[in-house]
């Protein structure tokens, strides 16, 4: 447990520093600027914590042994590579597998959406000419939230995201990435629960599909390599013969719709 606490503290610090730079501050010159970084760090960590606790509580409910979440600090422009938990005992059946796989992304999205909505209200609409910054891709869910909270953006203008909105945007991206139907990602758990071993052909194809998408965003190559290294196979649950309940099947379909709503082929256009 001590390692997880240290990693969380380190991730809080790294996201705080990243958020300070995103807010226009410079903690190296003025440490007081770190206060502005809280507007990014707290919303982002809230999304990640709720996501991982969704997995954790679902696993414990089915008496599956899991570790507390490991948060990963990183010297990146968002300050983290996310978080994960480790499943330490076999999953009993497909119903448990679907609960564990779907609880994280659904819980994370349920908090990412209101964070995004609040952040969009705090965002500024400015003339496109002269704007500098990183362009971001727009998922269907992001576009819907932007239209609802900001209305139609006039031609020649663009939205400059508030740090809170950027944290919400990352939350939607994290949801989509984790729902990729491969290996032991959340989407892999859900796909196996829905389709059993029949889905393995799709799982093996996913990293090969991601590689050419690297022309649109380099991050897809990183995810493809990760899947090649970690593998795309998925172990069956102990009692694989127990069928998935109708309610769990509906949750699995909802998770698939959530993936499509949060997915964008160009998160950061090149």
CB atoms inside a 10 Å sphere around CB 20: 27
pLDDT per position as a tens digit, 18-77: 999 988 888 878 888 899 999 999 999 999 999 999 999 999 999 999 999 999 999 888
**pTM of the entire predicted model:** 0.94
DSSP notation for 105-159 = HHHHHHHHHHHHHHHHHH-EEEESTT--S------HHHHHHHHHHH-PPPTTEEE
pLDDT at 134: 75
DSSP state of 67: P
Q: With left for phi above 0 and alpha for psi between -120 and 50, is residue 71 left, alpha or beta?
A: beta
- The count of C-alpha atoms lying within 13 angstroms of the C-alpha of 187, restricted to the half-sphere facing its C-beta, is 22
- SS3 of 150-172: HCCCCCCEEEECCHHHHHHHHHH
Structural contact between residues 85 and 49, judged by C-beta atoms closer than 8 angstroms: no
Q: How confident is the model at residue 154 (pLDDT cuts 50, 70, 90)?
A: confident
Contacts of 110 (CB under 8 A, 6+ apart): 50
């Amino acid at each position: 447990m001590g390692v997880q606490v240290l990693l969380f503290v380190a991730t809080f610090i790294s996201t705080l520093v990243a958020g300070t730079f995103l807010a226009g501050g410079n903690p190296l010159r003025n440490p007081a600027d770190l206060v502005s970084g809280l507007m990014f760090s707290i919303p982002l960590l809230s999304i990640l914590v709720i996501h991982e606790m969704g997995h954790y509580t679902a696993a414990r409910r089915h008496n599956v042994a899991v570790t507390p979440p490991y948060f990963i600090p990183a010297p990146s422009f968002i300050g983290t590579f996310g978080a994960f938990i480790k499943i330490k005992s076999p999953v009993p059946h497909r119903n448990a597998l679907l609960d564990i796989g779907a609880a994280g992304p659904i819980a994370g999205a349920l908090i990412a959406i209101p964070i995004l909505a609040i952040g969009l209200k705090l965002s500024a609409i400015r003339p496109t000419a002269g704007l500098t910054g990183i362009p971001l891709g727009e998922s269907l869910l992001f576009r819907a939230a932007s239209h609802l909270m900001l209305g139609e953006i006039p031609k020649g203008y663009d939205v400059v995201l508030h740090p809170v909105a950027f944290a919400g945007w990352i939350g939607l991206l994290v949801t989509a990435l984790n729902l990729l139907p491969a290996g032991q990602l959340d989407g892999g758990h859900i796909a196996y629960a829905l389709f059993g071993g029949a889905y393995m052909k799709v799982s093996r194809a996913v990293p090969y599909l991601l590689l050419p998408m690297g022309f649109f965003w380099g991050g897809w190559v990183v995810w493809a390599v990760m899947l090649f290294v970690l593998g795309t196979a998925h172990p069956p649950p102990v009692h694989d013969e127990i069928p998935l309940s109708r309610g769990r099947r509906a949750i699995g379909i909802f998770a698939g719709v959530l993936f499509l709503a949060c997915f964008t082929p160009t998160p950061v256009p090149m």
